[in-house]
Amino acid sequence: QSVLTQPPSASGTPGQRVTISCSGSSSNIGSNYVYWYQQLPGTAPKLLIYRNNQRPSGVPDRFSGSKSGTSASLAISGLRSEDEADYYCAAWDDSLSGSWVFGGGTKLTVL
């Protein structure tokens, strides 16, 4: 089963801009939308970005998503302490009979 690849960790200081990458393949990111989820410690995932770069209502515009080929990125600008969380990318994978695949998660630390 395909999986998506993310760096295990990222960090930044308050006010900085950080980016988190997500690498996939032609059967997932290359041919379908990318979604990003934020998981604060001990809580359920929350949808941050859908359809590569769309924000649900209530998500600050400090969060932005992009996609190019078989890779995607999540950018967080004006970093705040409450952004410290795990971030997961996800995409539908068309291989075999189809399945959702997730990245391994990136733990963001605000220094």
Return residues touching other proteins (CB under 8 A). 1, 3, 32-33, 35, 37, 43-47, 50-51, 56, 88, 90, 92, 96-105
Radius of gyration of the chain (CA): 13
- Measured CA distances, 1 to 26, 47, 52, 95 (Å): 14, 23, 22, 8
To the nearest whole angstrom, how small is the minimum distance from the Cβ of residue 75 to other proteins?
A: 20
* C-beta of residue 21 within 8 angstroms of C-beta of residue 71: yes
To the nearest whole angstrom, how small is the minimum distance from the Cβ of residue 24 to other proteins?
A: 13
Choice between 66 and 77, CB closer to other proteins: 66
To the nearest whole angstrom, how small is the minimum distance from the Cβ of residue 109 to other proteins?
A: 17
Choice between 69 and 98, CB closer to other proteins: 98
Q: How far apart are CA 43 and CA 53, in angstroms?
A: 24
